Amino acid sequence: MNQSRPIIALYPGSFDPVTLGHEDIARRTLKVVDRVVVAVAHTSTHSKRPAFSVDERLDMLNEVFADEERVECASFEGLMVDFARSVGASVVVRGLRAVSDFEYEFQMAQMNRELHPGMEFIFLTPETHLSFLSASLVREVAALGGDVSSFVSPAIMRRLRDRYQRQRD
């Protein structure tokens, strides 16, 4: 993309678990940047009880993106903009599924721009067939024994089965 300095994007989130929607956003981001850092936040801006630990989510991300050398997976604590600086990211990418996502993401982008004026924010929408998908829905359906195989990669499906089968036994 840029011969003098690579453009690095940060794609932060909880990824609990990583869905095909997340994968879609990360891979499509590579069309406009040189490298993407997909980063699991230790603390969530939403009060949700995680299904997987940060380390488990990081393992899942590494497995899902093992085929893509331009994707790096990491975790971070504290302010997202501080982590972005530490990895050299000049762009933050976020996925928008619905109009309701926009208001929250817009407010977060504005606050983060105040904290780091040089940061750019890109919003991408997932492929149409993934536009309703959220990790929360995947967790809920999987916990109740439903089939979520069309919403997550096979590696993630195995982990979900293992996690929730143990809880039902």
CATH no. of 8-168: 3.40.50.620
Q: Specify the pTM.
A: 0.91
Cβ contacts of 37 within 8 Å, gap of 6 or more: 8, 9, 10, 11, 71, 72, 73, 74, 87, 89
Average pLDDT rounded to a whole number, residues 62-73: 97
Pick the range with the lowest mean pLDDT from 43-47, 79-83, 112-116.
Answer: 43-47
26 with 65: CB under 8 angstroms? yes
40 with 54: CB under 8 angstroms? yes
- The 10 Å Cβ neighbour count of residue 45 is 11
- Looking at residue 115, its pLDDT comes to 93
User: Which tens digits make up the pLDDT trace of 102-122?
Assistant: 888 999 999 999 999 999 999
Burial 104-124 (b: 16+ CB within 10 A, else e): ebeebbeebeeebeebeeeeb
Name the average pLDDT for the chain. 92
Cβ contacts of 140 within 8 Å, gap of 6 or more: none
Average pLDDT rounded to a whole number, residues 36-42: 96
Average pLDDT rounded to a whole number, residues 21-36: 97
Average pLDDT rounded to a whole number, residues 54-58: 97
- Looking at residue 43, its pLDDT comes to 81
pLDDT band, residue 165 (cuts 50/70/90): confident
For the CA atoms of 109, 112, 116, 119, what is the dihedral angle to 10 degrees?
-30
Q: Where are the domains of the chain?
A: 8-168
pLDDT band, residue 3 (cuts 50/70/90): low
